[in-house]
Amino acid sequence: MAQAEMIVEQDYPWVWASHNKFKLLSGNEIPAIGLGTWKAGDAAGDVVFNAIVQDGYRHVDTAQQYAVQEEVGYGLRAAMDAGIERRDIFVTSKLWCTDMSPERVRPAFNRTLNELQLDYLDLYMIHWPFRLRDGASRPPKPGDVLDVDMKAVWKEMEKLVADKVVREIGICNFTVKKLESLLSYATIMPSVCQVEMHPGWRNDKILNTCRKYNIHVTAYSPLGSQGSQTRDLINDETVKMVAKRVSKTPGQVLIKWALQRGTSTIPKSTNPERIKENIEVFGWDLPELEFNALSSLPDQRRELDGAELFVCPEEPYKSVEELWDYE
């Protein structure tokens, strides 16, 4: 958005299905806050169980590439054994790049169901719109990044819905060009587009395009990324100022900013206090002044640009700019 803007229900009636869920194109609902499991490691099972049973999370986001799906599956099973109904938990997973060919979609999906100990997924997504050779190195060598037949892959994704083993299908890390190309042949629209999105990377272009087609957006990395080479928004001075003004934590105001833009979000943590804190974002709002302050951070840039996975000196993507179709 050229100017920061508040999302209000009368402007976008599809935004809220209830105080803590968003309505999808199908009429199904996605919880506004999900538990991200990237880098959760061996703790993933206990983290998922506690988040669901103790803290009230009803959305768990995982992926084959995270290498935690078996642990997540144990956590989900334990939560259901403790009395949480399966229908009340929204489970998301993703198709990895090495399986981005039509004959590999169903086997990859079946592995995911088996690891998660489930008989259906609420949402299955294309993790990245690229195909990698089995055993591809990081960064890739020539020949590691392969051509992808997206139309054929999407057709297989649609079959999962037709067979009632997936309720929704979606996409991650798509550019506007790739999204509009997919929409030109999709029989079943993607319900959700998951992309990096936070005040340090508002990602306005894809957000506005998804609004145009009523595709729901889930923001990953809502707190930015911490580390010497990344942007730590938790310790950003503007974020801390806003948190102090509204008497909330920096993490909470970053998550609330995502919700007020009309996006769900999937903060990741294995810290019990942080996990509890991240879902305590209902019943209050960021005032317009504070929302606009967060929406005006300079130095907009991606933290997860895919370079390590897909950029190499040879074709097809020689730079991050080519990868993201920058204009």
| 270 residue type, one letter | T
The C-alpha R_g of the chain, in whole angstroms, comes to 19
Q: Cis (ω within 30 of 0) for the bond into 316? A: yes
Cross-strand partners of 91: 60
Structure tokens at 298: 């300079």
Judged by DSSP in three states, 28 sits in coil
Q: Is 213 a catalytic residue?
A: no
b/e per residue 3-24 (b: at least 16 CB within 10 A): ebeeeeeeeeeebbbeebbbbb
| Residues 204/179, Cβ–Cβ less than 8 Å | no
Give the span between the Cα atoms of 128 and 261, in whole angstroms. Answer: 23
Query: Can you list the alpha helix ranges (DSSP code H) found in 89-184?
Result: 102-116, 150-162, 176-183
Active-site entry in 57, 66, 74, 317: 66
Judged by DSSP in three states, 17 sits in: strand
Measured over the CA atoms of residue 319, residue 323, residue 324 and residue 326, the dihedral's sign is positive
Whose tokens are 């707190």? That residue is 223
The answer to whether 16 and 243 have CB atoms below 8 angstroms apart is no
Return all residues near 151 (Cβ < 8 A) that are at least 6 apart.
Answer: 185
Any idea which residues carry the catalytic annotation? 66
